[in-house]
Amino acid sequence: MHRFFPAVWFGWLWLALLLVLVFAAAYVDLRRYVIPKVLTLGLWVLGMVLHTLRGAWLGWQGNSVWLLPPGVLLGAVDGLLFALAGFVTGFGLFFALWLLRTCGGGDVKLFSAIATWTGPISALWLLGLSIVVVTVLATTKAIFLMLTGQMRQALPAESRTEPSRRQNRDRELSVQEMLQRGQKPKRLLSFSLPLAVSLVLLLAWKCPRELGLAPPSPAHSPVPVEPSRSP
């Protein structure tokens, strides 16, 4: 039987740490318009460590983790490879979006760190959910701003004109000045909050059985053994 978590309590701990760090990053981003590097770096390092421990534990139980056969050492290596594959996948996906100027550098780091926890395949699902959530939230907010006559003030400068690199740099400096004065610069939407919401949706879909919140699937249920009958 393939399992992601070696124990239910480990799954709850894993889930709690991930969500606390991700929502902390989203909260700080909404308040200060920046995602602290200490949060993204801590999320990445902790994900690597927990996946290594998870792999060693699963290997000790005789379960395979991802690509390598069971074993404590092989499981630890396999867990680390799983986390690295998630990081590379997440970075590649959001770096492409960054090149298209649809997200910021902090979003790239945050998504890469989250993908370290989820692995490469779930990172693809997370990206799809994030696009849906950010589209819904951005559309809703844009409609609200248009109805209240605040749309032009909320749009970033580059969406109204085509500024030069120097204009972009000047705008970043003006944002920092506004933050130092206690003022909040306006923007259409932050990507960190939709990413956190999408992560909750993904975990709610994939983790109930692993956390003991749903009965095991028929494929994972033990096969009943009929009692032998004497002739």
Per-residue pLDDT, 208: 92
Per-residue pLDDT, 156: 52
Cα separation, 140 vs 193, in Å, equals 14
Mean pLDDT of the chain: 82
Per-residue pLDDT, 26: 95
Spell out the residues 6+ positions from residue 207 whose beta carbon is closer than 8 angstroms to its own. 4, 11, 15, 213
Per-residue pLDDT, 22: 97
Consecutive 10-residue averages of pLDDT for the chain (231 residues)? 88 97 95 92 97 97 94 97 98 93 90 97 95 89 79 50 46 50 53 93 93 72 42 44
Per-residue pLDDT, 45: 97
Q: Is residue 227 a part of any domain in this protein? A: no
Per-residue pLDDT, 217: 65
Per-residue pLDDT, 223: 39
Q: Is residue 221 a part of any domain in this protein? A: no
Q: Is residue 113 a part of any domain in this protein? A: yes
Q: Is residue 34 a part of any domain in this protein? A: yes
Per-residue pLDDT, 137: 86
Q: Is residue 166 a part of any domain in this protein? A: no
Per-residue pLDDT, 152: 54
5: how many CB neighbours lie within 10 A of its CB? 19
Per-residue pLDDT, 58: 97
Q: Is residue 135 a part of any domain in this protein? A: yes
Q: Is residue 105 a part of any domain in this protein? A: yes
Range of the domain at 127: 8-157+175-206
Cα separation, 153 vs 100, in Å, equals 23
Spell out the residues 6+ positions from residue 161 whose beta carbon is closer than 8 angstroms to its own. none
Per-residue pLDDT, 203: 95
Q: Is residue 29 a part of any domain in this protein? A: yes
Spell out the residues 6+ positions from residue 223 whose beta carbon is closer than 8 angstroms to its own. none
Per-residue pLDDT, 13: 97
Number of domains in the chain: 1
Per-residue pLDDT, 207: 92
